[in-house]
Amino acid sequence: MNDIFNKKLSEIFSKVDEKMIQAKLNAAIDMLKKGNTEELARKINKVDKNELLSKINEFDESKLKEFNIDKNELKSKISNADLNKLAQIIGEHGDEIVAKIKEIIK
C-alpha cells in the first residue's frame, strides 16, 4: 500500500517539475524576445554560473523527453540572435552555456 502511495506521489511531483521547467523556459524565451533583458539578467545573475553549466551539461535527448520539452518547438522559438544576447546576459561561461544549448536543440 505504501509503495503505491509513494509511486503516485513521485508521479505527481514529476509532473509538477515538468510543468515548472516548461513555464520557466517559456518565461525566459518571452523575456528574450520582448527585449526584457534586465529582468532576465537579474534572474540569471542569482544563479551560480558553474552550477548552471553543470545542469545544462546534464541535458540530452532523454532529458528533453523526460521533461516533455519539444526540441523542434524550441528551435522555432529561439534565434541565433537570441542565443547571442543570452550569452552576453549570462556573462561568465555564457559562450559555453549557449554552445551547449545549440548542441541540444540542433
Count: domains in the chain = 1
What average pLDDT does the chain have? Answer: 80
Contact 63, 70 (CB under 8 A): no
User: What are the tens digits of pLDDT across the range 65-74?
Assistant: 877 888 888 8
pTM for this prediction:
0.69
> How far is the C-alpha of 74 from the C-alpha of 78, rounded, in Å?
6
User: What are the tens digits of pLDDT across the range 9-50?
Assistant: 566 555 556 677 777 777 888 888 887 788 888 888 888 888
> How far is the C-alpha of 99 from the C-alpha of 36, rounded, in Å?
22
Contact 27, 39 (CB under 8 A): no
Say how far residue 46 (Cα) sits from the centre of its chain.
15
Quickly state the pLDDT bin for 5 (edges 50, 70, 90). Answer: low
Average pLDDT over residues 70-96: 87
